[in-house]
Amino acid sequence: MKKIDWYILKTFMVTFFFVLLLFTVIGIVIDISEKTDDFVKSGLSTYEIITKYYFGFVPRIGAMLFPLWVFIAAIFFTSKMAGRSEVIAILASGTSYNRFLRPYLFGGLIFATMLWFMQRSVIPRANEIFSVFQVTYIDNNSSYEAAKGGTQPYVNSVYRKIDANTYAGVNSYDTIHKTAGTFFLHRMNNNKLVYNLRAEAIRWDTAGKRNKWVLTNVVERTFNGNDETVSFSPEKTMDLNFKPFDLRLDEYAKDKLPTPELKQFIKVEEQRGSEGINAMKVELYKRDATPFAVIILSLIGGIVASRRVRGGSGMHLAIGITSAAAFVLLDRFSTIFSTKSDFPPLLAAWTPNIIFMFVAYYFYKKAPK
């Protein structure tokens, strides 16, 4: 690392944190203007809104737009350098173009590493804070939910495959009190029913840290050929292969699970034959793909803005914003194709990176060296 490398790297990082702070403030202001009525209806104090909502909102929006902010920062400070003829001076001194791009690669690696570690644990925790507030205070007050009659804490019915041969279902599950109405469990063997259980009610019991399901008025039937054994129990405690979290229709589940837990959750849901697993897989793969996108966009920003053009920073920023919009649209399309069709989740997560690698190569070949 030479003095010029430290100069570019330091300017890159300072500009990035300035852009991060600027757009975070703008995002908070816009969000406050949109949710003022919801904050008032919630009855929470300013301190509670900050700790119960914005402690989750700020990291969430930061991680979501992190690659674009790195991209804008790279374009902005490099364009200023080009406008002051600093890039021309660096290349005229005998420094190769590849050598000039080295601090952009180092900067991209630093930012990518930061994002990678944050997405594994910090961002999921922030998403949990955000989702709890969103479900409790925002979704209940939305016009869409009001048109549907308001958000109810009930799931009408849930049917799960809890292992290779066992199926279970609950009716009228209450996500708040973790109770349900009728419950049934079937166990199959060679496509034949060998065990059947029915209960009038089921609840999650945390007393004494048992963390097990308690069934009420249980009828059990065991089948052995033509023989049938029937037993009745007023109450029965069972350690079933699912938890209250598994019965909630939680649209934020994939966002708020740390990476190890998300991997385990996907594995369990695959065994149960659940639907909507592609969305979880895309989220898992994006936690590796998005940091890699930071490196690519850092290099593209340095390459695009290093050329001095008429219009200066304005022209560079216009090219940058257009490229960023294309990246976001491509990312959204690939995600939708995966979640709504049979497009492989791994390919959906990495498609924008693959395409923009060719874009970076095109800009690199066209750049004056």
Rounded CA gap, 119 and 128, in Å?
A: 13
Q: What percent of the chain has pLDDT over 90?
A: 26
Q: Which residues pair with 193 in a beta bridge?
A: 188
pTM > 0.85: yes or no: no
Model confidence at 148: pLDDT above 70: no
**pLDDT band at 24, cuts 50/70/90?**
very high
> Where exactly are the structural domains of the chain?
3-143+278-332+345-366, 154-272
Condensed to tens digits (0 to 9), the pLDDT of residues 167-185 reads 888 877 776 677 888 888 8
Write the DSSP symbol of residue 74.
H
Q: What percent of the chain has pLDDT over 70?
A: 86
Which of residues 198 and 323 earns the better pLDDT score? Answer: 198
Q: What is the pLDDT of residue 313?
A: 62
**pLDDT band at 150, cuts 50/70/90?**
very low
Q: What is the pLDDT of residue 88?
A: 85
Q: What is the pLDDT of residue 118?
A: 92
Condensed to tens digits (0 to 9), the pLDDT of residues 53-103 reads 999 999 999 888 899 899 989 988 988 888 888 888 888 888 888 889 999
Both tokens of residue 188?
A: 């199959």
Condensed to tens digits (0 to 9), the pLDDT of residues 260-310 reads 888 888 887 777 666 678 888 888 999 999 999 999 999 998 888 887 766
Q: Which residues pair with 196 in a beta bridge?
A: 186, 221
Average pLDDT over residues 330-353: 87
Alpha-carbon radius of gyration of the chain = 27
Q: What is the pLDDT of residue 111?
A: 95
Residues sharing a CB contact under 8 Å with residue 246, sequence separation 6 or more, in sequence order: 160, 268
Q: What is the pLDDT of residue 42?
A: 82
Condensed to tens digits (0 to 9), the pLDDT of residues 182-217 reads 888 888 888 888 899 999 888 888 765 567 888 899
Model confidence at 4: pLDDT above 80: yes
Residues sharing a CB contact under 8 Å with residue 303, sequence separation 6 or more, in sequence order: 101, 360, 363, 364, 367
Q: Are 213 and 203 in contact (CB under 8 A)?
A: yes
Of the candidates 158, 14, 118, which has an alpha carbon nearest to the alpha carbon of residue 76? Answer: 14
Q: Average pLDDT, whole number, for the chain?
A: 83
Q: Where are the beta strands (DSSP E) in 81-191?
A: 154-161, 166-174, 179-180, 183-189
**pLDDT band at 144, cuts 50/70/90?**
very low
